[in-house]
């Protein structure tokens, strides 16, 4: 074995640390680039048979923050997500209230008190040939 001078030892150590840090950075970059994105969110929800919802009923949909309303003109669904910053609304005596910033909406989803300026989003509803009710969030 040859004698290793102090200078050569320090160069070898420095080069080793540089190669190691480069390899770790490259590994981190590969891990970042190979990250799998989240799968697409479900946008179609089967609510069961139409008979479950009698005329005049207002039912909350358990899978998503939404309200299903059955009137003489048919079914409608309102998203219970505040149009201001996306908080989930809570029902109150006049309609719905946002617990985050105190926006208020009436029973039809219209804004009665800001800071929200847009009404609640109406969700698309379909009745299948079998009589099932489906709601679509997108």
Can you give the residue ranges of every domain in the chain? 1-35, 44-136
**Percent of the chain scoring above 90 in pLDDT:** 17
CATH of domain 44-136: 2.102.10.10
| 1 has pLDDT over 70 | no
Q: Taking the model in full, what pTM does it have?
A: 0.64
Residue 18 banded pLDDT, cuts 50, 70, 90: very high
Q: What is the DSSP letter of 46?
A: E
In 3D space, the residue among 31, 29, 43 whose CA is nearest the CA of residue 79 turns out to be 43
| 5 has pLDDT over 70 | yes
Helix H segments across the chain?
6-33
Q: What is the mean pLDDT of the chain?
A: 86
Distance CA 24, CA 124 (A): 49
Question: What is the CA 85 to chain-centroid distance, rounded?
Answer: 12
For CA atoms 26, 28, 31, 35, the dihedral sign is negative
């Amino acid at each position: 074995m040859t004698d290793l001078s102090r200078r050569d030892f320090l160069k070898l150590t420095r080069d080793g640390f540089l190669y190691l840090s480069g390899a770790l950075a490259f590994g981190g970059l590969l891990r970042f680039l190979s990250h799998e994105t989240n799968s697409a969110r479900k946008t179609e929800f089967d609510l069961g048979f139409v008979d479950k919802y009698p005329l005049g009923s207002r039912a909350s949909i358990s899978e998503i923050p939404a309200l299903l309303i059955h009137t003489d003109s048919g079914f409608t669904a309102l998203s219970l997500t505040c149009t201001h910053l996306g908080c989930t609304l809570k029902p109150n005596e006049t309609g719905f209230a946002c617990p985050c910033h105190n926006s208020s909406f009436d029973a039809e989803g219209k804004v009665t008190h800001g800071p929200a300026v847009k009404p609640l989003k109406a969700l698309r509803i379909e009745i299948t040939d079998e009589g099932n009710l489906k709601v679509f969030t997108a």
